[in-house]
Amino acid sequence: MKRQIEALLLTTRWLLLPLYLALIVSMLALFLVVARELEHLAMAAWTMDDVDLVLALLSILDLVLVANLIVMVAISSYESYIARIDAGEAGGRPEWLGKLDSGDVKLKVGLSIVMISAIHLLRAYLADEPRSQIVLLAGTHMVFVLSVLGVALVERLAHRRPDG
Is the separation of the CB atoms in 72 and 104 below 8 Å? Answer: no
Q: What would the pLDDT profile of 27-69 be if each residue is shown by its tens digit?
A: 999 999 999 999 989 998 889 888 888 888 888 988 998 898 8
d(CA 101, CA 158) in angstroms, rounded, equals 13
pTM for the whole structure: 0.76
pLDDT at 98: 67
b/e 97-128 (16+ beta carbons within 10 angstroms → b)? eeebeeeebbbbbbbbbbbbbbbbbbbbeeee
